[in-house]
């Protein structure tokens, strides 16, 4: 597998690794901003992408913005592999975490880009540096999910959205990927098969899956909030965001980080075009009629209808019962249990 060589990195540098494609170009800015603003460290962000999956325009835009924000970063292009497949809303880019773990041999933390961070996330660096042998990976605890009974992703020992890599050798993965039967989440299954018996677990707060939280009101935010699933905060048209903010659902944390990011870029007179990638992000991810894509389908309808989407919102809220709990921006149960904000 060919890849552009990674520049030498000084020992002891706090390293955060992630990967994107064009669909995740805009969300990456919020990711990097929230991580860099919630730590006293100065992490180096190593950002991978498969060849031809991140346009030169997006690379320039991201480089200009991250440099203006004083976020240290390094983009690295990785070769395609036919075994890196799309599965639902999950793109082939997710498999690059295997390649990047092999390339970045110093201790580092992998964090999926569909996350937002709060103070305390950087405690992971100390855990990784002090990981005793023979343990080979740091992961967050996870609770039992609704899909466990049907053998879905939540039946796996851990979610691979946040990974702490020590400086020890990685487990061989390429040959096993070739032999692995096709399952619902190929990359997650392979990580669990290789590492489930050699992991050190930290608090779920370091990789809190948002479908496990209804509201953040009255509770400290998780250290890393992971927007797992097909529908993401950036898929919600801005006109409907106030419903999420009022309810203080997990998406409100991403919206707050985005507003801070845009304000910081405006203060630095960044000239990069952000409106175009932001509009592009609205329509990314695709959709299907699967039950776990109902939320994504709703957001697509709201985007297409524009202001008329308020009719869908008001009707769905009135119906209450048929609306899945936590559906954005409907928040079934909000009117019943929380009442309207004064």
Q: Are 188 and 159 in contact (CB under 8 A)?
A: yes
Q: List pLDDT tens digits, range 254-310.
A: 999 999 999 999 999 998 889 999 999 998 876 666 666 778 888 989 999 999 999
pLDDT level of residue 232 (50, 70, 90 thresholds): very high
Distance CA 279, CA 179 (A): 40
pLDDT score of 143 more than 70 = no
Summarize pLDDT for 14-39 with one digit per residue, the tens.
999 999 999 999 999 999 999 999 99
For residues 97-120, give the mean pLDDT: 97
Average pLDDT for 134-159: 71
Tell me what the mean pLDDT of segment 127-136 comes to. 94
Reduced to 3 states (helix: H, G, I; strand: E, B; else coil), residue 287 is coil
In this structure, of 140-149, 187-196, 264-273, 307-316, the range with the lowest mean pLDDT score is: 140-149
User: What does the alpha-carbon distance between residue 9 and residue 174 come to, in Å, rounded to a whole number?
Assistant: 25
Mean pLDDT of 2-24: 84
Q: Which tokens hold the place of 9? A: 């990195």
What average pLDDT does range 317-325 have in this prediction?
67
pLDDT score of 337 more than 50: no
* pTM for this prediction: 0.91
Region 111-126 average pLDDT: 98
| Token duo for residue 38 | 């919630």
User: What was the pLDDT predicted at 88?
Assistant: 74
Distance, in Å, from the CA atom of 131 to the CA atom of 92, rounded to the nearest integer, reads 30
CA distance 298 to 275: 23
Q: Is the pLDDT of residue 1 over 60?
A: no
% of the chain surpassing 90 pLDDT = 67
Domains and CATH numbers, the chain: 15-209 (3.90.550.10), 235-338 (no CATH)
pLDDT for 155 equals: 74
């Amino acid at each position: 597998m060919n890849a552009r060589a990674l520049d030498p990195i000084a020992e002891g540098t706090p390293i955060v690794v992630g990967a994107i494609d064009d669909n995740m170009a805009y969300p990456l800015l919020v990711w990097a901003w929230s991580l860099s603003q919630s730590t006293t460290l100065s992490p180096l962000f190593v950002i991978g992408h498969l060849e031809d999956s991140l346009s030169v325009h997006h690379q320039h835009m991201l480089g200009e913005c991250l440099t203006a924000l004083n976020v240290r970063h390094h983009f690295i292009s990785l070769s395609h592999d036919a075994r890196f497949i799309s599965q639902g809303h999950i793109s082939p880019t997710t498999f690059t975490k295997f390649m990047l773990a092999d390339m970045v041999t110093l201790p580092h933390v992998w964090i999926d880009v569909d996350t937002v961070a709060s103070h305390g996330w950087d405690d992971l660096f100390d855990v990784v540096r002090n990981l005793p042998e023979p343990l080979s990976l740091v992961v967050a605890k996870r609770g039992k999910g609704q899909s466990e009974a049907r053998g879905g992703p939540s039946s796996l020992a851990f979610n691979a959205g946040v990974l702490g890599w020590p400086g020890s050798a990685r487990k061989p993965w390429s040959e096993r990927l070739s032999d692995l039967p096709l399952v619902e989440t190929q990359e997650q299954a392979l990580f669990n098969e290789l590492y489930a018996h050699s992991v050190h677990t930290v608090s779920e707060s370091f990789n809190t899956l948002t479908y496990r939280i209804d509201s953040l009101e009255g509770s400290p935010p998780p250290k890393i909030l992971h927007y797992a699933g097909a529908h993401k905060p950036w898929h919600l048209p801005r006109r409907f965001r106030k419903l999420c903010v009022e309810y203080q659902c997990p998406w409100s944390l991403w919206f707050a980080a985005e507003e801070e990011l845009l304000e910081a870029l405006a203060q630095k007179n960044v000239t990069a075009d952000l409106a175009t990638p932001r509009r592009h992000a609205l329509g990314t991810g695709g959709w299907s009629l699967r039950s776990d894509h109902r939320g994504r389908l709703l957001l697509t309808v709201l985007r297409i209808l524009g202001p008329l989407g308020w009719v869908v919102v008001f009707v769905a809220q009135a119906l209450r019962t048929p609306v899945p709990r936590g559906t954005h921006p409907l928040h079934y149960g909000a009117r019943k249990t929380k009442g309207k904000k004064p």
